[in-house]
Structure 1
Amino acid sequence: MLENIEEKLKKKNTILFSRESECLQELIFLIQQQNHRTLVLWAFECIKVPLKTLERKYSEEFRAQNAFEICQRWARGEEKMPAAKRAILECHAVCKEINDKSDIALYHAIGQGLSTIHVETHAIGLPIYELSAIVFSHKEDYEIKVKEKIEFYKRKIDECKEKVDRSDLKWAGFLMKDKSNKEKLLALKEIDN
């Protein structure tokens, strides 16, 4: 299931998973079946874990939390995309200022997750980076931790699917339009090629 990880670690890769990773195929399929709002809610829920981890370690660093708050407002229609895009880029920029591979991957996971608001194809970036962080921080027992995290992602999708249309959640107009899932369209395009 995690056949290429050791090879990527030896090569000192910073991203250890991809859309082609066998262990992510079921999750990708689930992502392809969801509407945009469900994936945004899922990303928000999943981001809370790495956000707390980074806040404990970098108590003076607020760019990831700021991006999260701005993107929550964007998803509600209370903020415009340019402000959210700047905040997401600032979250990614933290990576240039730190050296810990795991933490760098977590900041990228948050940025990718928040970018899900823009388009569904960013959703898989959250696990790609967060799972890489898990491997970097749990070198001895990462396989179990990665499998547990993938199960967590799948459970969260189911939970978010159930609560996405609750009346207490406010959504921006562009998220209320149920369009074709871009992740699914990407997969169909790859099949045609």
Structure 2
Amino acid sequence: MFSDVEVKIKKRNKLLFSRDSQCLQELKELIQLQNHRTLVLWALDCAKLPLAQFEAKYPDERRPRTCLERCEEWARGDIKMPIAKRAILDSHAVAKEIDDLEYGTLCQAIGHAGATVHVETHALGLPIYELTSMVHKYGKDHFHGPVSGKINDYYNRLLYWQETTDKLELNWAGFLLDDTKPNKERLWRENREADS
């Protein structure tokens, strides 16, 4: 299940998961079935834990929190994309500035969670980066259990939001209300298969 991750660990890659990682395939398939609103709520919800972990170590660094706040406002239609985009880029910038691989990848996970408001393909960035952080935290010999548990959590939270999102009477930006547009993660897969 983690053979590709273990190869990347041996190669000393900074990013240890990808959308092709065997352990993420079921989650990716479930992501491809969702409307954009569901993925936004799922990603913003799941990003709360990495944010809390990051802030426990870096309490004075506010950019990842600002990223999530601005992206929530963007999803509701309260602000326009350029303001949210700046906050997303700022969260990613923290990763480079702190020179801390475990916590930097949490900032990148948060940035991808926020960017899910823009396009569904960013949703998978949250687990790719957060799981990489977990491997750095637990080490190459002890990450299997925690990472497997986290993947199950992602899947179960997505099932929850799949059932709950449209039952909630939330304000949404107009572009998130258009269900005629296909899921971009599914389109990405279909285009990739067509090119093969």
TM-score under structure 2 length normalisation: 0.96
Amino acid in the other structure paired with 1:188: E
- Report how far residue 19 of structure 1 moved: 1.1
Query: Is 1:64 aligned to residue 54 of structure 2?
Result: no
Amino acid in the other structure paired with 1:153: Y
Q: Which whole-Å deviations, capped at 9, do the CAs of 1:61-103 have from their partners, x for residues lacking one?
A: 0000011111100000001000000000000000121122111
Which residue pairs with 1:185 in the alignment? Answer: 187
- Report how far residue 165 of structure 1 moved: 1.5
Q: Which whole-Å deviations, capped at 9, do the CAs of 1:20-52 have from their partners, x for residues lacking one?
A: 111111000000000000000000110000000
Query: Is 1:92 aligned to residue 95 of structure 2?
Result: no
TM alignment of 1:23-172, pairs within 5 A: 23-139=23-139, 140-172=141-173
**Cα distance in 2 between the residues matched to 1:94 and 1:49:** 17
- Report how far residue 167 of structure 1 moved: 4.0
Identity of aligned residues (%): 50
SS of 1:165's equivalent? helix
Query: Residue 4 of structure 2 contacts residue 22 of structure 2 at CA under 8 Å; is this kept in 1?
Result: no
**Cα distance in 2 between the residues matched to 1:25 and 1:81:** 30
- Report how far residue 6 of structure 1 moved: 2.6
Farther off after superposition, 61-70 or 5-14: 5-14
**Cα distance in 2 between the residues matched to 1:112 and 1:67:** 10
Which aligned segments of 4 or more residues in structure 1 are displaced greater than 4 angstroms? none
Query: Residue 113 of structure 2 contacts residue 126 of structure 2 at CA under 8 Å; is this kept in 1?
Result: yes
Amino acid in the other structure paired with 1:147: S
TM-score under structure 1 length normalisation: 0.97
Farther off after superposition, 94-103 or 180-189: 94-103
Amino acid in the other structure paired with 2:145: I
- Report how far residue 4 of structure 1 moved: 2.4
- Report how far residue 133 of structure 1 moved: 0.5
Q: Say what the alpha-carbon RMSD is for the aligned residues.
A: 0.9
Q: For structure 2, which runs of at least 5 residues remain unmatched after alignment? A: none
**Cα distance in 2 between the residues matched to 1:108 and 1:128:** 9
How many residue pairs align between the two structures?
A: 193
